[in-house]
Amino acid sequence: MSTEESRHVYRLHSTLELPLEDLEEHLETATYPDGVTDVELTRRNNTLILKAVSNDDTVSKYTPTAQLKASVTENRVYEEDPEERRQNSFRWDEDEEEEIESELVEFAAFKGDRETVLQNSLLQYEMFQVLCDIALQTEKGTLTAISERDGDLEATRIVDGEARPADVEVVEGPRERKSASSGVNWRDNKFISD
């Protein structure tokens, strides 16, 4: 069985967000999984594409490898939380409130489900591993996923940069329920005549 056949990502949901500068630093020093020699970072307006570079010479340069997609947003970052400062300060003269030091910071936001965040199938599992490494660098956001490696399902859950316990739970799907219990039975509907 080849590695492609034995590794898949079935479900993925991400709300990860980290400063773009931190992401770029992480990619410069990251160790990539087998099969990936590098990750190319491309920016088009407010979209970031992190594309896997395959170490397989037989892969055509026209074959799309897996990529991570993120949006770039600007957020104002304060040295001190403005609300906390307002609550802690006791001033007689409210008009002379000092301005809090802040700066605009660009953030990379990996938000959405599998098709939105993780695209293309070649090296998809490996790029999922790259995303997990990025998730461990973030201070804000959650990554949850169900993947399969060598026939075993694995649950992944990373919250605010910390790996958390996760389980795969098999539940009855909507198609497996009896159709009579939900929806309209059009064949026996008294309001429709032949």
Tell me the per-residue pLDDT of 109-143, one tens digit each, with 9 for 90 and over: 999 998 999 999 999 999 999 999 999 999 999 99
Q: Of 166, 142, 135, nearest to 153 (Cα)?
A: 166
Query: Is the pLDDT score of 104 beyond 60?
Result: yes
Q: Does 193 fall in a domain?
A: no
pLDDT digits (tens, 9 = 90+) for 165-181: 999 887 876 665 554 45
Residue 2 lies in a domain: no
Quick check: 2 pLDDT over 50?
no
Q: Cα–Cα distance between 95 and 65 in angstroms, integer? A: 58
Does residue 98 or residue 136 have the better pLDDT?
A: 136
Residues 6 or more apart from 142 whose CB is under 8 A from it? 13, 14, 15, 16, 157, 158, 159, 160
- Return the pLDDT at 176: 53
Q: Are 52 and 69 in contact (CB under 8 A)?
A: no
On whether residue 123 sits in a domain, the answer given is yes
pLDDT at 3 over 50: no
Q: What is the pLDDT of residue 91?
A: 53
Q: Is the pLDDT of residue 100 over 90?
A: no
pLDDT tens for residues 40-96? Answer: 999 999 999 999 999 888 888 788 999 999 999 998 888 776 566 555 555 555 555
Structure token pair of residue 169: 């739970």
Dist. CA 128–CA 143, nearest whole Å: 11
User: In total, how many domains does the chain have?
Assistant: 1
Residue 154 lies in a domain: yes
Q: How high is the pLDDT of residue 1?
A: 36
Residue 160 lies in a domain: yes
Tell me the residue range of the domain where 57 lies. Answer: 7-85+99-188
pLDDT: which is higher, 80 or 152: 152
- Whether 147 is covered by a domain: the verdict is yes
The answer to whether residue 194 is domain-embedded is no
**Assigned domain for 25 exists:** yes
Q: What is the pTM of this model?
A: 0.76
